[in-house]
Structure 1
Amino acid sequence: MNTNPKIAVFGGGSWATAIVKMLSENLEQVGWYMRSQSAIDYIKENDHNPNYISSATFNVNQLYLSSDINEMVKYADILIFSIPSAFVKTELDKITEPFTSKIVFSAIKGIIPESGLIVGEHFNKILNVPIENIGVITGPCHAEEVAMERLSYLTIACKDEEKAKLVSKFISSHYIKTKISDDIIGAEYAAMLKNIYAIAAGIAHGLGYGDNFQAVLMSNSIREIKRFIKKVHRMKRNINNSAYLGDLLVTGYSVFSRNRMFGNMIGKGYTVKSAMMEMSMVAEGYYATKSAYLLNEKNNTKTPIIDAVYQILYENKNPKTIFKNLTELID
């Protein structure tokens, strides 16, 4: 395995920008694919992303920027995808360069709507990337705090421990601590599911529920995550680790959480469409809710919180009524 690989990040949003910043601490050059050529031109001129976490500045001489996804696939040995899950397939469909021999890491905390799969499974089952070449970057880490270089923790999961260690080394810095894991499927499902519970937390806040209820909601949420993941991928894991519980808590409580913000707007009476129009960023939990609900129809796990969020977002049920019912189903 190449111990001095070329690494590229795919995506132009806040989390992609944060990952480029982390890698820039350790690499002489970082590849960065963005579909917007105007955003690339702006970065070259002004040293920061025009649209997301603009406080994160770059030495543009370190960046290999391109709006040609095939150029970036050809360039890199390790591909880190941080594109909103709703747009992943559209971007992947552009790729003509062979990449089944590449190491592919997902930093996408969502599910691909077209296949109903988490990103790692999509790469493996649909695009034939070997499972040992697939990894996940996850954990309780907001892009905005990375930009401010506030201490954050990430979990790097891969079946191949050496590849996890390699990516971990290039992401670590004085403000980023990392640990490795072999629970690639469970960690990625947890990263997807916690967005749904953050929406639930936001809805509760919008409806006027207080901190006491929020604590009970989060307590039930981690148990629901444990039941769900156990059904889809049974293995030994500590659900209280930061990749699971930590990520849930920061997404459920933080002012930086777009999923909580989205839920809060729904709780205050916004329609799904109007809430989405007002937000400048994608709330991954919206798409994850439908996929998790449909998957659970086959697995038949007890998930009253997912069910409640689904009814509100996709069946246009009244949030106040649904949450009143939910209070009788959780403890």
Structure 2
Amino acid sequence: MTDSPVKKDSTVGVVGSGSFATAIVKMLLENVHTVHWCVRNEFVKGAIELRGHNPTYLTAVNFCVKNLKLTTDINELVKACDVIVLATPSIYLSDTMDKMTCGYAGKIFISAIKGIVPRVNDVVAHYLREEFQIGFKCQAVLAGPCHAEEVAMERLSYLTIATVEDHVAEMLQGLFSSSYINVHSSKDILGNEYSAILKNIYAIGAGIASGLGYGDNFTAVFVSNAIREMETFLEGIYEAPRDVNESAYLGDLLVTAYSLFSRNRSLGNLIGKGYTVKSALQSMNMIAEGYYAADSIYNTSQEKALETPIIDTIYKILYEGKNAEKQYQKLTTILN
């Protein structure tokens, strides 16, 4: 346990039962006595209660069940908690939030989701504000290079918590900081959220390059171009004081583009090796958020007339059925 302003009985809950949700529960239990956890279904709930670990994701992480309050009802969790971490895949968020009928005024909602909400074709921050009237003062975003698998192994990891309120940032730093989690704060909610989405798309691109047989030299050039393109996109949609070389932007891009833990890189690698997009998606046992986000991000880039050749290339491969090898031959002529 670490010294923090957070009390042992702070009411905090996590919605979602995938790998990152499981890692977040582990992080929180370093600082609070009880974590409320809304999981997908009764099978997952029963398995955790019986065996003390998630039956599907990060199965090596063992929990003391008495420190968990498990439920499948989001209303039960929201009623009990002051801080709610949303950690479902973006494509399931609307279905999950539609079930929330209880009051939630004044509660803090943290997005640990790195994808676009399909129903509104927008980021989680805007979805919460427009659909549920949860303003930015009651929101935060978890960002940064922090693979769930490394959290499970308690390898030193870094989180950035983006929120506009200083007292919320301080409270959340106390919730998440530990001997293996370093936490920094930012006020760039939209920039952190969009960069987390963009890096997944670029990671698919890095994976495609690997599958096609491009080596480390090309990947280094690809990533250096990607961070500049990310900056172009972020400035095009929301100007703010930011340094894209910080870990929440560049660091997260690097780890997602290079790591073998990266599901988005894995998806791209399969496509580069010749799998169809459909077959590559079907072979994945986890959601690759970058695939679902690429359509929305490409359209946003087109609407704002931004120069984003990497995003354009990946979109054409994923959604227009363009040949990956030919598209990358074109891309190599404009990267520098």
Which of the five TM-score ranges fits, normalised by the shorter chain?
over 0.9
Q: Which amino acid counterpart does residue 29 of structure 1 have in structure 2?
A: T
- The aligned counterpart of 1:177 is 182
SS of 2:132 mapped into structure 1: coil
Shift of 1:3: 5.4
Could you say what the CA RMSD is over the residues aligned between the two structures, in angstroms? 1.0
Q: Are positions 1:164 and 2:139 aligned together?
A: no
- The aligned counterpart of 2:326 is 321
Q: Are positions 1:274 and 2:279 aligned together?
A: yes
Offset from partner CA, 1:36-73 (integer Å, 9 cap, x none):
21111111111110100111111110001001111111
Q: Are positions 1:20 and 2:25 aligned together?
A: yes
Q: Are positions 1:108 and 2:119 aligned together?
A: no
Q: Which amino acid counterpart does residue 233 of structure 2 have in structure 1?
A: F
Q: Are positions 1:233 and 2:238 aligned together?
A: yes
Distance 1:224 1:205 in 2: 20
Q: Which amino acid counterpart does residue 210 of structure 1 have in structure 2?
A: G
- The aligned counterpart of 1:129 is 134
Q: Are positions 1:213 and 2:218 aligned together?
A: yes
Shift of 1:99: 1.9
SS of 2:270 mapped into structure 1: helix
Distance 1:246 1:165 in 2: 22
Shift of 1:120: 1.2
Instruction: Choose the corresponding residue for 2:55, options 50, 61, 65.
Output: 50
- The aligned counterpart of 1:256 is 261
Q: Are positions 1:192 and 2:193 aligned together?
A: no
Offset from partner CA, 1:60-95 (integer Å, 9 cap, x none):
100010011111111111110010001111111111
Distance 2:136 2:176 in 1: 21
Offset from partner CA, 1:100-138 (integer Å, 9 cap, x none):
431100000111111111111111122210111110011
Offset from partner CA, 1:283-319 (integer Å, 9 cap, x none):
0000110110111121111100000000000001000
- The 5-angstrom pairing of residues 48-127 of structure 1 reads 48-127=53-132
Distance 2:95 2:278 in 1: 22
Distance 1:44 1:232 in 2: 45
Distance 1:150 1:115 in 2: 36
Q: Which amino acid counterpart does residue 290 of structure 1 have in structure 2?
A: D
Distance 2:188 2:27 in 1: 23
Distance 2:155 2:100 in 1: 36
SS of 1:155 mapped into structure 2: strand
Is the CA contact 1:100–1:130 (under 8 Å) kept in the aligned structure 2? no
Q: How many residues align?
A: 330
SS of 1:179 mapped into structure 2: strand
Distance 2:161 2:13 in 1: 16
Distance 1:224 1:30 in 2: 39
Stretches of structure 2 that go unaligned for 5 or more consecutive residues are: none
- TM-score (norm: length of structure 2): 0.96
Q: Which amino acid counterpart does residue 151 of structure 1 have in structure 2?
A: L
Instruction: Choose the corresponding residue for 1:307, options 309, 312, 316.
Output: 312
Instruction: Choose the corresponding residue for 2:295, options 267, 290, 295.
Output: 290
Q: Which amino acid counterpart does residue 287 of structure 2 have in structure 1?
A: V
Is the CA contact 2:6–2:174 (under 8 Å) kept in the aligned structure 1? no
SS of 2:78 mapped into structure 1: helix
Is the CA contact 1:111–1:117 (under 8 Å) kept in the aligned structure 2? yes
SS of 1:79 mapped into structure 2: strand
Larger CA deviation: 262-271 vs 242-251: 262-271
Distance 2:78 2:299 in 1: 33
Instruction: Choose the corresponding residue for 1:31, options 28, 36, 45.
Output: 36
Distance 1:3 1:152 in 2: 21
Is the CA contact 1:100–1:127 (under 8 Å) kept in the aligned structure 2? no
Distance 2:45 2:280 in 1: 28
Instruction: Choose the corresponding residue for 1:150, options 151, 155, 170.
Output: 155
Offset from partner CA, 1:139-188 (integer Å, 9 cap, x none):
00100000000000100110011101111111111000001111111011
Is the CA contact 1:35–1:68 (under 8 Å) kept in the aligned structure 2? no
Percent of aligned pairs with the same amino acid: 49
Stretches of structure 1 that go unaligned for 5 or more consecutive residues are: none
Distance 1:100 1:298 in 2: 35
- TM-score (norm: length of structure 1): 0.98
Shift of 1:273: 1.5
